[in-house]
Amino acid sequence: MHATKNRQLPLAIATSIALALASANAFAQSNETQLLNRLEQLAGELEKVKAELKQMKQKQDATPVLIAQAAAPVSASSRLGEGTQLTAYGEINYSRPRRDSSATQADVARFVTGFQHSFNEKTKVVAELEVEHAVKSSSDNGEVAVEQVFVEHRFNDSFGARAGLFLIPLGLINQNHEPHTFYSVNRPTVETAIIPSTLREAGVQLFGEQDNGISWSTGITTGFDLSKWDPLKVEGVESPLRTLHQEGQLARSKDLSFFGALDWRGIPGLRVGAGFTTGKAGHGTKGFLAPNARTTLADVHVQWTPGAWDFAAVYARGTISGAGALNASFSGAPYLVPKSFDGYYAQAAYKIPLSGDYRLSPFTRIERINTGRSFDGVVAGQNVTAYDTETIWTTGVSFNIAPTVVLKADYQKYKIVKDSDRINLGLGFSF
C-alpha cells in the first residue's frame, strides 16, 4: 500500500506542475502587463525596505559616536571618569630689568595641578597642588603648597556651603588667577602686594547666587598671625600680609577671621563688587606685645567689558591695628608693622580676534601702591616714616594661541624705584 502510494506521488507532482504551468501560462498570456507592474511594485518595496535597513544601521553606527562626543564636548578640562576632572595651569616667565641685565631671570613661576570630583549631584571636592619656582629643596627657593582643598555642598540651586581650604573672595584675581584671566605676565601688583593672592585660609563658608545678579559669600576662617612679623626682613615691605597669612599650615586658630563678599552682575558685561576679611591676629601668644591686634583687608572692584573692550579697576586697603607696642619694641629694626597700606589699579585692554582661536589683546594699566601708609608706635630713633606711594605703569600685549593658552609681553615702568623697570615675557596655560 505504501509502495503504491510512493509510486503515485511523482506522477501527482508532475501532473500538478503541468497544470500549474498551464494555468500560469494561460494567466500570463491574459494578464502579462498587470504582472509586470506588480513585479516592479514589489521590487520598489524591496528597495525601500533595504534602504530602511541601511538607515537603521547608519543610525546605530552613529549613536556611539554621538555618545562619545556628547560625553566629551570641546573640553577645557580633562575628564578622568564619571564626575572627575583633572585640572592644571602653569606660568613660565622671563624678566629682564632695564638697568641691571645681570638680574635677568627665567622662572617656572608656578605649576598647579588638581582635580574636581563630584560625589553626587550636590557634593563635590575641589583640590589644587601648587609648585612655585620649579624646585623645592633645602637649597632651593621653590615652594610646594596646597592651593585649595575644599568640599562643596549645594542645598539648592542658589545656596550652598564650602568647608576646607579655600580662596578668600577679594579683588578680581584671587579667585580667578589662571594666566589667561589677566593680561600682564605677572599679576597686578595691587593684587599681590596688598591682596596677597592667592590668599586662602581654612574654614567654612556659605554662598548664594540670585537671579537679580547678586552673588554673595560669607564665612569664618583661620586668619593672620602677627607673631610671624620679622622686622628684619624686607618681605613685610613688599607685601605686609604675605608674611602673616597661614594657608592651612598648622594654622594658629585661637583667633579666627570673618569674611564677606558681595558682587553684582545684573547688567551684561558689568561686575561691581566688594569684599573684606577681618580678625584678631595675636592668638594669645605669651608675652606678645600686640595681643589684641586686628588685621583687616577690604576691597572694591569693578570690571566692564563692552564689546571688545575690557576695563577693570580695584582698590584694596589693609589695616593692622593694635601693633603700636610691638613696633616700639623693634628698636633698631628697619621694617615696622604698618597701621595701614593700600593701592589701586585701573586697566584697559582691547581684544582683537584674529583667525581661529588666535586673539591679540593690547593693554595698559596704572597702579598706585603704598605698603606703609601709616605706622603706630614709632618711637624716637626708629626713623620710620610713611612710605612714598609708588606708581607703576604696565603696558603690553597678550596673544592667545588657544582660548586658555597665552603668550605675553609687557614693559613695567616704576616712578620711584626706577631699577625695577623691566621687560617681561611669559607663557601661560590652563585647563
Partner 1 sequence: MKSALTWLPTAAIVIVSPVYAGQYATVDEAAKRAFPDATEFKESVFQLSADEVRNVATVTGLPAKPVLWRSLLAMNGDKPLGVVVLDSVIGKFELIDYAVGIAYDGKIRNVEILAYRESHGYEVRLPAWRKQFFGKDKSSRLRVSEDIASISGATMSATHITDGVRRIVAVVDQMKAAGKF
Minimum CB distance to partner 1 smaller for 214 or for 423: 214
**Could you tell me the CA-to-CA distances from 94 to 29, 367, 425 in Å, in that order?**
96, 21, 5
CA 90/CA 27 separation, integer angstroms? 86
CA 64/CA 117 separation, integer angstroms? 25
Minimum CB distance to partner 1 smaller for 175 or for 319: 175
Give the nearest distance from C-beta 31 to partner 1 in angstroms.
33
Minimum CB distance to partner 1 smaller for 115 or for 288: 115
Minimum CB distance to partner 1 smaller for 184 or for 382: 184
Q: Summarize as ranges the residues that interact with partner 1 (CB under 8 A).
A: 52, 55-56, 59-60, 62-63, 65-67, 69-71, 73-77, 82-83, 85, 87, 116, 118, 120-122, 124, 126, 152, 154, 156-157, 172, 175-176, 181, 209, 211, 213, 215, 263, 265-269, 271, 303, 305-308, 310, 312, 351, 353, 356, 403-404
Give the nearest distance from C-beta 97 to partner 1 in angstroms.
32
Give the nearest distance from C-beta 188 to partner 1 in angstroms.
14
CA 147/CA 129 separation, integer angstroms? 6
- DSSP alpha helices (H): ranges in 174-246? 235-238
Give the nearest distance from C-beta 349 to partner 1 in angstroms.
10
Give the nearest distance from C-beta 146 to partner 1 in angstroms.
17
**Cell numbers describing residue 387:** 612710605
Q: What Rg value do the Cα atoms of the chain yield, rounded?
A: 36
Give the nearest distance from C-beta 357 to partner 1 in angstroms.
9
Give the nearest distance from C-beta 305 to partner 1 in angstroms.
5
Residues 6+ positions from 266 with CB-CB distance below 8 Å: 212, 213, 214
3-state secondary structure of 88: strand
The burial class, CB within 10 Å (0-12 / 13-18 / 19+), for 102 is exposed
Minimum CB distance to partner 1 smaller for 12 or for 49: 49
CA 151/CA 127 separation, integer angstroms? 9
Minimum CB distance to partner 1 smaller for 167 or for 185: 167
Minimum CB distance to partner 1 smaller for 271 or for 317: 271
- In eight-state DSSP terms, residue 293 is -
CA-angle at 416, arms to 413 and 417, nearest 5°? 75
**b/e for 247-285, b at 16 or more Cβ within 10 A?**
bbeebbbebbbebbbebbbeeeeebbbbbbbbbbbbbee
Give the nearest distance from C-beta 157 to partner 1 in angstroms.
4
Minimum CB distance to partner 1 smaller for 288 or for 399: 399
